[in-house]
Amino acid sequence: MFWNRKKTDVDLSQTETNLIPTKIEIIDFGFTTFNFRSFADLGALWGVDGGYTFYTLNKYQVDHAVLVDTHPTEIFKEGSKKYPQLRFIKGNFGDEKIVHEVGKVDAVLLFDVLLHQVHPNWDRILELYAPYVKSLIIYNPQWVGSNRTIRLLELGEDEYFQNVPHNQTEEPYNNLFQKLDQKHPDHDRIWRDVHHIWQWGITDTDLQNKVKSLGFRMQFFKNCGMFGNLKNFENHAFVFTK
C-alpha cells in the first residue's frame, strides 16, 4: 500500500484552524490504517501548544502518549490535565536518555523538527528512535535546491538568510553568524548546534534512503508545495512503517 497525494489539503473545522491540515491528514492516515494505540510527539509545543497531541487523543483510542519538548507552555500544561494517558518529558528529544525514557510506542510524530536537529543530526535522530517505533509520521520542509542534503550554515550568511524564513534582526537570528561558536545561554552547546535555528536542507532521497536502511517502508507521501516564498524548500508529508 502506498498513497501519493496531490497538492490539495483537506478542510479543518473552525476549532482546528491553528493546525495544518496535512499534518492532521497524516495522523488520520496512520491511526486509521494501522490502528496505532500509542505515540510520541517530539518537539511539539512551539506555535501549537501540543495541538496535534490533543487532536490525536481526542479522536483516537490511545493507551499511552508522550510529548517531549524543552519549553512547556501554560496552555499545554493546563490542557494536558484532561489526559491521564499523556506523559510529558521536559528536555531535548535527541538526548539518548530521553529516547529511552520515551520507550516503545507505535508511532512518532516529527513535525517541522528534523531540519533543526544537530548534535545529534537529523539522521541520527531517526536511528535513535527506529528500534522503539513501528512508524515515523513526518512533516518537514524539504530541500529542493540541489540533489544533496546541506547544512544551511555552510552556505554563508548571505545565502543562509536567502533560504530561511527569518532575517538578521529578529530573535534568535540577530548576529547569528557572529555568535556561532559562543555558548548558548540556555543550552549546554554552542549556537551553531542549537535547534532554535534552521539547520538543514534535507532532500527526499536522503530521507527516504535513511528510513529504508532502518527497516521502514513509505506508505504515504504528499507534496504540499513551496514553503512560503522560499524557492528551495517544499513542505512534504510522509508516513513510514516497518
156-201 per-position pLDDT tens digit: 999 999 999 999 999 999 999 999 999 998 888 999 999 999 999 9
Alpha carbon distance 61, 75 (integer Å): 23
Q: Are 79 and 50 in contact (CB under 8 A)?
A: yes
Kindly tell me the burial class for residue 156, based on how many C-beta atoms sit within 10 Å of its own C-beta (0-12, 13-18, 19 or more).
Answer: exposed
Q: Identify the band that residue 8 occupies on the pLDDT scale cut at 50, 70 and 90.
A: very low
DSSP state, residue 76: H
Residue 235: which residues within 8 A CB-CB, separation 6 or more? 22, 139, 140, 141, 142, 223, 224, 225, 226, 227
What is the model's pLDDT at position 121?
97
Give the CATH H-level superfamily of domain 3-149+202-241: Vaccinia Virus protein VP39 (3.40.50.150)
State the average pLDDT for the chain: 92
Domain residue spans of the chain:
3-149+202-241
The pLDDT of residue 37 is above 90: yes
Distances (CA, A) of 2 to 33, 50, 212: 11, 28, 14
Residue 186 grid coordinates: 540556555
pLDDT score at 10: 39
- Inter-axis angle of helices 21-34 and 51-59, to 10 degrees? 40
pLDDT of 11 > 50? The answer is: no
Q: What is the mean pLDDT of residues 138-155?
A: 97
The tens digit of pLDDT for each residue in 38-88 reads 999 999 998 899 999 999 999 999 999 999 999 899 999 999 999 999 999
Confidence (pLDDT) at 157: 97
To which H or E segment does residue 236 belong? Answer: strand 230-241
In angstroms, rounded to a whole number, what is the distance separating the alpha carbons of residues 239 and 216?
Answer: 9
Which residues fall within 8 angstroms of residue 14, CB to CB, at 6 or more apart? Answer: none
Residue 195, CA distances (Å) to 8, 62, 80, 118, 220 in order: 30, 29, 24, 7, 27
pLDDT of the residue at 13: 41
The pLDDT value recorded for residue 182 is: 95
